[in-house]
Amino acid sequence: MKQAGSRRLRLDPEARREAILDAAQALFRTHGWDNVSVADILDAAGLSKGGFYHHFSAREDLLSALAQRVAERALAAGDEARRNAEGGAVARLNAFLAGSMRWQAENAGEIRVLIDILAHPGNDLLVQRLAQATRGVVIPELLAIIGDGLADGAFDVVDANVTAEIIFNMTQDRSPVLADAVARASGGHFEVAVERLGARLRVEGAACDRLLGLSPGSVVLSHPDNIRRLLTGLINVKSDLSTRKNTSVED
């Protein structure tokens, strides 16, 4: 794949890094991970090779950075919802979860890139990289939420660090279920997809209840309306992509 040449841009280091990530995300989304080179990304971003290697040592580093950026943005949205929530620690936790999922639904393009890569057979090493990239962002957030619940007297955990690790690992293990739900929703089986993803989230919520020492049904991960919004956003991204590709071929 080769893009038309672009004028080189002069940006400060942080803006340059973001420009590289934005270009990579758009190209991966449109053409797929396997069909995009570093040269393609630099051309799309209007940057030099030196500008790339100042921030990233390899193309795989882009995926780690994209996963970390998605996690940071989703968690920031959840944090804002948690700060504005009324009630105790459980209410704040559920507000955080709803706010994070709402951000994912509204920014499905960023999520879809990662889902497609995670779902592709043979990408085990990339999956490990993505998990490692997000761990450093998610675990501290989970520890802060658990600490809030302990201070509030709402949570009763055996060990905060182990609890955070278990919850994080559950979210990572959800990836195949989410990919399957997206595939089913895209194939016309939307409500089946909602139920399958909802069933997984209900199990995770029940597990979180036990891990946090809460009564059953306290942690709400599986509100059907939120799941529908998320899946709708993800399949609309794919539909928009297909339309653009068909238009390009016709032109």
The dihedral through the CA atoms of 44, 47, 50, 52 has a sign that is negative
On the CB side of 95, CA atoms within 13 Å amount to 16
Q: Where in the chain is the domain with CATH 1.10.10.60?
A: 1-57
The Cα–Cα gap between 168 and 135 comes to 7
| Angle at the Cα of 139 from the Cα atoms of 137 and 145, rounded to 5 degrees | 110
The Cα–Cα gap between 83 and 96 comes to 8
Q: What is the pLDDT of residue 208?
A: 98
pTM, rounded to two decimals: 0.84
Give the pLDDT band of residue 119 (cuts 50, 70, 90).
confident
Q: What is the pLDDT of residue 127?
A: 85
28, two tokens = 């991966």
Give the pLDDT band of residue 47 (cuts 50, 70, 90).
confident
The class that CATH gives domain 1-57 is: mainly alpha
Domain 58-250, CATH 1.10.357 — does that match?
A: yes
The Cα–Cα gap between 108 and 112 comes to 6
Average the pLDDT over each of 112-126, 132-146, 170-184, 196-210 and give the range with the smallest value.
112-126
Q: Where in the chain is the domain with CATH 1.10.357?
A: 58-250
Question: H or E element: which one contains 53?
Answer: helix 49-53
Q: Which amino acid belongs to residue 92?
A: R
Closest by Cα among 178, 209, 70 to 131: 70
Q: What is the pLDDT of residue 6?
A: 46
Give the pLDDT band of residue 246 (cuts 50, 70, 90).
very low
Q: What is the pLDDT of residue 10?
A: 60
Q: What is the pLDDT of residue 238?
A: 58
Instruction: List pLDDT tens digits, range 120-136.
Output: 777 788 888 889 999 99
